Structure 1
Amino acid sequence: MSKAKGKAKELKGKVKEAAGKAVDDAGAQAEGRRDQVAGKAEQAADKARRHTGRPHA
């Protein structure tokens, strides 16, 4: 994954979490937080790959 895709996933998670809060849906809030964590992990993995010079998986 690229940094941009990770950032997009993180942003999507923030929107889901906010929507879940707006309609009092704990499941949507949790899914949004999960997407945010996944997006941050993808960004960190991309950064590590760039620093080690390894190609994207």
Structure 2
Amino acid sequence: MSALDKAKNKAEELGGAAKEHAGEATGDDNLRAEGQTDQAKGNLKQAGEKVKDAFKD
């Protein structure tokens, strides 16, 4: 996994966590759900990169 991809995926995950917390604090269920989705996408991308790295070795 390239360092740039890893950083982008982590940023998406952290941004999603921030959205989720903001949605919880304001009672905005749509923002909370969007944050959860962003976190899930970041996690899936990281998992995909790890699988690709496993097959490169």
Could you tell me the TM-score, scaled by structure 1's length?
Answer: 0.86
**How many residue pairs are counted as aligned between the two chains?**
53
Aligned to 1:12: 15
Aligned to 1:22: 25
Aligned to 2:6: 3
Write out the 4+ residue segments of structure 1 that deviate beyond 4 Å after TM superposition. none
Gapped regions of structure 2 (runs ≥ 5): none
Structure number with higher helix proportion:
2
Residue 26 of structure 2 is aligned to residue 38 of structure 1: no
Gapped regions of structure 1 (runs ≥ 5): none
State the superposition RMSD in angstroms: 1.2
Could you tell me the TM-score, scaled by structure 2's length?
Answer: 0.86
Cα deviation for residue 3 of structure 1 reads 1.7
Q: Quick one: percent identity of the two aligned structures? A: 43
Q: For residues 4 and 48 of structure 1, what CA distance do their matches in structure 2 show?
A: 17
Q: For residues 4 and 50 of structure 1, what CA distance do their matches in structure 2 show?
A: 16
